[in-house]
Structure formats: structure tokens, C-alpha cells
Structure 1
Amino acid sequence: MTAAGYLKRLSKRLTADLEELDAERISEQSQATGAQRACDCGQGEEVSMLGELRSVQTCSKAAKTGVVAEFFDGTDVVVLKWIGRNRIPGIEPGRKLTVRGRLGVKDGVKVVYNPYYELIGDD
């Protein structure tokens, strides 16, 4: 029985899409900490989520649009926007963090403006 379970997990890892495996890994880590799942959060709610940054855009001083990051918790994408900042140390693609703030929706995309965040070290 144990060998069959091992072979099943191994074949899943060998045949599954890498993005799907990554999403599953992030989602499991998030649930283990008790964080909320982004797919379950709605507009106007105070949220606390754990996930990874997929991409980060910084602005020039002239543009003054702030830092924009794509946050993924394994279930959904949330855009994080820090207004008035042109760079934030530690906010970079691939970084794991916990985010807290009020969730909004702009143009059908979930967004948190000026979120509180805590960088999570590599395990």
C-alpha cells in the first residue's frame, strides 16, 4: 500500500505541470500557517495571506506610480500596490511573505493598497 502511494505521488510529480505543482506547494504552506486563501477573500475584507511574489514593477521617480507586485498564494493572484514608493528593499520576485490589508477590486483584479508585510526567510 505504501509503495503504491509512493508510485502514485512520483508519477504525479513527473507528469504534472510545474506551475500546478508550485501552486499546490504554496497553497499547502499557506493553509499550514492558518492564512486566508485569496480565492475565498472578497472586496472590503481585512485579509491576512501568505504567498510568493511572482513579479515586481518599480517606478522611476518621475512616474510616481509606486511599487506594484503580483502576489500568488496558490489559489489566486492579488496585486499589491505601495503608493509613493519607488523601491522597497526585500520586495523582489520569488520572495515569500505574509501580507495584511484591506482587499479591493479594481478592473476585476484583486488589489491591496499599501499592505503591511512580513518577509519570510528561506527554510
Structure 2
Amino acid sequence: MCTENGEIIWGIIEKTVGASQGGLVRVIFREKGPEGACALFSGLQKVVNYWLFPNGFSSGIGDTIGDAKTMAFITQTIASHKAEVAAIRERATIDEHKAAPGMTIRESFESQVERQLNLAHDTS
């Protein structure tokens, strides 16, 4: 993208516009200061609003509910990780749980349980 005196000469503003060191937002802030960056965001918001007006969409609670296949996958994933947590707890109860290097048995137990819960969250 090429701009000159605040006007886009050629190019397209895309999602990486502010994600890099030489991104548009940083360049404008450096060259035009906070007022210039504020004007950029105001202008971009107007463009987005004008686009959303005729092309808008809505989402309701029904859009957030998964279909039967998705719900079955989530339920199965959570159940398998709960079973793994139960197995970890059982090993700790009968003193078969081993401490991980650099951790106490309690820290190791908590780490393994937390890992399973995070995996359940991330994969479901």
C-alpha cells in the first residue's frame, strides 16, 4: 500500500495493517502523532460502518449452539479427559504417582491435572 499526505495512492488496507513494525498504524503515529492515528481509526471505522450498513448480519443465541455431531465430539472429548484426571487422581490416592523432575508430588499432580483440563478446553 502506498499513501501520500494521508491519501491512499494504491493498495488495499488488510488485517496486517497494524501487526508489523512498519505497519500503517505505527507509521501514521510516528509521522502524524496521536491525533493522526486517531483520525485514521475514525476514518477506518466510518468505512467499516458504511460497509456493514447494507451488508450487515446478526447473530443470535441459536448461532452459538453446535449441531449434534459437534456436541457429541465435545461431550466425548471432555469425558475422555475427565477419565484421565480420574486415573491421575487414583494413582495419587494409592501412592503410585511419581514426582516430575524439579517438582514435588503435589506440584506434579496439579501440573498433570491442569494439563488434562487445558487439553479438554483446547480440543473441545
**TM-score range normalised by the length of the shorter chain:** under 0.3
**Higher relative contact order, structure no. (Cα contacts within 8 Å, ≥ 6 residues apart):** 1
Q: Report the structure, 1 or 2, having the larger helix content.
A: 2
Query: What is the TM-score normalised by the length of structure 2?
Result: 0.21
